[in-house]
């Protein structure tokens, strides 16, 4: 399948937690890194240079796919995976929201000791 919509839906916002959860694994991050040039690769190719079995890699790829971070397409006898920038950008946008709302470190230190206000 070329894609489940894990993306944005009009007005409200989808829960980004599953995206971050998918990113929260060393193996999956390194898979995403390999795919970070935009090219698609087969499972076999993605399984080289790793200690894990092909099945393990497959599972990780499916997790990434479930989160919308990669898309897969079967061509011939192989399954090719490619990174999906949209979802990565969605995660970035979320981090922007939680990061962009306050100013300097000094102000933060103050708030530790100030009354609960």
Closest to 4 in 3D by CA, of 61, 58, 68, 86: 68
Q: Which of 10/58 has CB closer to DNA?
A: 58
Nearest-approach distance from CB 59 to a second copy, in angstroms: 16
17 binds a second copy (CB under 8 A): yes
> Apex CA 67: angle with CA 15 and CA 100, to 5°?
45
51 is in the binding site of which of a second copy, DNA, none (Cβ under 5 to 8 A by kind)?
A: DNA
Among 8, 74, 92, 108, binds DNA (CB under 7 A): 74
Q: What secondary structure does DSSP assign to 49-116, as a single string?
A: T-SS-HHHHHHHHHHHHHTTSEEEEEETTEEEEEE-HHHHHHHHHHHHHHHTT---HHHHHHHHHS--
117 binds DNA (CB under 7 A): no
Which parts of this chain interact with a second copy (CB under 8 A)? 15-26, 28-29, 32-33, 36-42, 45, 73, 75, 80, 82-83, 85, 88-89, 91-92, 94-99, 101-103, 105, 107-108, 111-113, 116-117
């Amino acid at each position: 399948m070329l894609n489940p919509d894990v993306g944005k839906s009009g007005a409200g916002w989808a829960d980004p937690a599953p995206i971050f959860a998918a990113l929260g694994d060393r193996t999956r991050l390194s898979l995403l890194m390999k795919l970070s040039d935009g090219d698609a690769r087969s499972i076999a190719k993605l399984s080289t240079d790793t200690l894990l079995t092909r099945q393990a890699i497959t599972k990780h790829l499916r997790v990434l796919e479930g989160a919308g971070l990669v898309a897969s397409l079967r061509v011939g006898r192989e399954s090719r995976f490619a990174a999906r920038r949209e979802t990565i950008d969605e995660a970035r946008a979320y981090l922007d929201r939680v990061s962009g709302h306050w100013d300097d470190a000094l102000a933060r230190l103050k708030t530790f000791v100030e009354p609960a206000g």
